[in-house]
Chains A and B, each alone.
Chain A
Amino acid sequence: MVRTGKRVVITGLGIVSANGIGIDPFWKSLKEGKSGIKKVGSLNARQFNAQLAGEVADFHLDQFIESKGLRNLSKSSCFVLGAARMALDDARVDRNENGCRETGLVIGTYWGSLHNMCQIDQTLITEGVNGILPSFFLNVLFNIPASQGSIKLKMTSLNTTLSSGFPSGLNAIGYGYDMIRRGRVDRCLAGGVEEFCIELHQWMSILEMLSGTRNGVREFCAPFDVDRNGIILGEGGAILMLEEYEAARKRGARIYAEIIGYGSVFETCVMDRFLPKKKGVKRAIETALVDAGIGFEGIDYVCAHANSEVTTDKVEAEALQDFMATGRRDIPVSSIKSMTGECFGASGPLQIATGVMAMKEDLIPPTVNFTAADPGISLNIVSDLNVTQKVESVLVNSFDNNNYSSVIIQNYSDES
Chain B
Amino acid sequence: MLRKVVCSGLGIIAPNGKSKEEFWENAKKGESGIDKITLYDTSHYPIQIGGEIKNFAPEHYFPADHPAPDLGRVALLSLAATRMALEDAGLEETDLALERAGVTIGNNGDMPLAWEIRQKWIHGELQDRADLIWRYPLNSISAIIANNFSLSGPNAVFATSCAAGNHAIANAYDLLQSGTCDIMITGGVESIPEDLFACFCQLRILADKVCQPFDKNRKGLVLSEGTGILILETLEHARQRGANIYGEILGYGMSSDAYHLTFPHPSGEGAVEAMRGALKHAGISVHDVDYISAHGTGTQPNDKIETLAIKKVFGRQAYNLPTSSVKSMIGHSLGASAAIEACVSLLTIQDKIISPTINYETSDPECDLDYVPNKCRKQDVKTVLSNSFGFGGNNVSIVFCETEQ
Contacts and interface: CB of A to CB of B under 8 A. Distances in A.
Contacts of A397: none
B102 A266 contact: yes
A146 interface: yes
A165 B155 CA distance: 9
A159 B174 contact: no
A132 interface: yes
A158 B127 CA distance: 41
A413 interface: no
Nearest to B201: A129
Interface stretch (B251-259, B285-293, B325-333, B372-380): B251-259
8 contacts: A138-B261, A139-B261, A142-B109, A160-B158, A161-B160, A266-B155, A274-B134, A283-B99
B200 to A, nearest CB: 8
Contacts of B136: 111, 203
Contact of B147 (A2, A125, A271): A271
A167 to B, nearest CB: 10
Nearest to B140: A271
Interface string B67-100: 0000000000000000000000000000000010
A154 interface: yes
Contacts of A156: 255-258, 269-270, 273
A129 B198 contact: yes
A159 B256 contact: yes
Interface in B1-58: 1-2, 44-46
Best-buried of B114, B137, B153 by chain A (most CB within 10 Å): B137
A124 interface: yes
Interface stretch (B224-232, B304-312, B387-395): B387-395
Interface string B178-197: 11100000000000001100
Interface in A394-408: 401-403
Contact of A158 (B109, B114, B137, B255): B255
Interface of B: 1-2, 44-46, 99, 102-103, 108-109, 114-115, 118-119, 121-122, 126-127, 130-131, 133-140, 142-144, 146-147, 150-161, 164, 167, 171, 174, 178-180, 194-195, 198-199, 201-204, 254-262, 269-270, 273, 390-394
Given A138-B203, A156-B256, 4 more contacts: A120-B195, A142-B159, A156-B255, A203-B133
Given A2-B179, A159-B394, A178-B178, A151 B261 contact: yes
Interface in A118-154: 118, 120-122, 124-125, 128-129, 132-134, 137-139, 141-144, 146-148, 150-151, 153-154
Nearest to A113: B109
B174 A144 contact: no
B288 to A, nearest CB: 21
Given A143-B159, A160-B158, A175 B202 contact: no
Contacts of B156: 162-164, 171
A143 B161 contact: yes
Contact of B115 (A1, A121, A269): A121
A269 B270 contact: no
A74 interface: no
B159 A265 contact: no
Contacts of A124: 194-195, 198
B121 A118 contact: yes
Contact of B122 (A122, A129, A403): A122
